[in-house]
């Protein structure tokens, strides 16, 4: 199995409520819970992830 480099958002801080992404792939983007690095990852098409991030940045999902 090829090692994957995971990246956490610079906005995440140390609270532990974070997701990490593995931007090593061209068409797919694995996403995992940073509190469970050995757990499963969800894999999204890269275009869908970019659309999701754009929606978050535009405030389409409200605030927490």
In this predicted structure, what is the pLDDT of residue 64? 60
Please say if the pLDDT value at position 58 is more than 90: yes
Task: Give per-residue pLDDT as tens, 2-56.
Answer: 778 999 877 776 666 788 999 888 899 999 998 898 999 999 999 999 999 999 8
Which residue in 12, 47, 2 sits closest to 26, CA to CA?
Answer: 47
- Whole-model pTM: value is 0.76
The pair of three-digit structure tokens given for residue 52, joined into one six-digit string: 């999701």
DSSP three-state, residue 36: coil
């Amino acid at each position: 199995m090829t090692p994957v480099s995971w990246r956490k958002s610079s906005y995440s801080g140390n609270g532990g409520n974070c997701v990490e992404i593995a931007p090593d792939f061209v068409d797919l983007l694995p996403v995992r819970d940073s509190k469970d690095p050995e757990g499963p990852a969800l894999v999204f098409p890269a275009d869908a992830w970019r659309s999701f991030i754009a929606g978050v940045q535009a405030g389409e999902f409200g605030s927490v």
